[in-house]
Amino acid sequence: MDILIETPRLLMREFCLDDVDAVFEFSTNPEVMRYTGDVGAVNTKKDAENLIVNCWQAEYKKYGYSRYALIYKEDDKVIGFCGVKYEPDLNCPDIGCRMLPEYWGNGLATEAVKATLEYTINTLGLTKVIGEVLVEHPASGNVLLKSGLRKVDTYEKDGFILNRYE
């Protein structure tokens, strides 16, 4: 598969069915999923396959972008995702990043998000990107701030209190 984004430590490409095991691993990890709004969406490898095909691959075709497989160069492993996903209710793309806990705390999320924002603007030509982060997860908010977004609002949505960054 073609590499879309490369940083010093990471590669990003579209998800494919070969990624089912990796998607299942990070999507069922309680630490990864703790601060997301889609806990329990993936419970089986079939759910992971459906996420790849019916969500991410469908969005690549429809919008030209979605979440990308995040590969750590050092071990050539898919460790999560990073990318923008079109949100119809917001009428713009939302940036998101998830990775396995053993890769946290060393700047990989900031590296991925910065590169993804640059790709989104310079290659995809998108001019507005938002990020929604649960208030109780300040680490993700800090990643967005370090990546050049700014906090613009705090609000309730679907029972969650969110900070919004643009």
User: What is the spatial distance between Cα 81 and Cα 26, in angstroms, rounded to a whole number?
Assistant: 9
User: What is the spatial distance between Cα 50 and Cα 53, in angstroms, rounded to a whole number?
Assistant: 5
Tens of pLDDT, residue by residue over 98-144, are: 999 999 999 999 999 999 999 999 999 999 999 999 999 999 999 99
Domain total in the chain: 1
* Segment holding 165, helix H or strand E: strand 160-165
| Residue 38 confidence (pLDDT) | 75
Q: Which domain holds residue 64?
A: 5-165
User: What is the spatial distance between Cα 18 and Cα 81, in angstroms, rounded to a whole number?
Assistant: 14
Rounded to two decimals, the pTM is 0.94
Tokens of 145: 């701030």
Tens of pLDDT, residue by residue over 27-73, are: 999 999 888 877 678 999 999 999 999 999 999 999 999 999 999 99
| Residue 39 confidence (pLDDT) | 66
User: What is the spatial distance between Cα 15 and Cα 44, in angstroms, rounded to a whole number?
Assistant: 17
| Residue 34 confidence (pLDDT) | 87
Q: Provide the 10 A C-beta neighbour count for residue 140.
A: 21
Q: Provide the 10 A C-beta neighbour count for residue 137.
A: 14
Residue in 4, 108, 154 with CA at minimum distance from that of residue 64: 4
At 89, is the pLDDT very low, low, confident or very high (cuts 50, 70, 90)?
confident
Mean pLDDT for 75-81 is: 97
Q: Provide the angle, in degrees to the nearest 10, between the axes of the packed helices 138-146 and 108-122.
A: 50
| CATH code assigned at 145 | 3.40.630.30
Indicate whether 83 pLDDT > 80.
yes
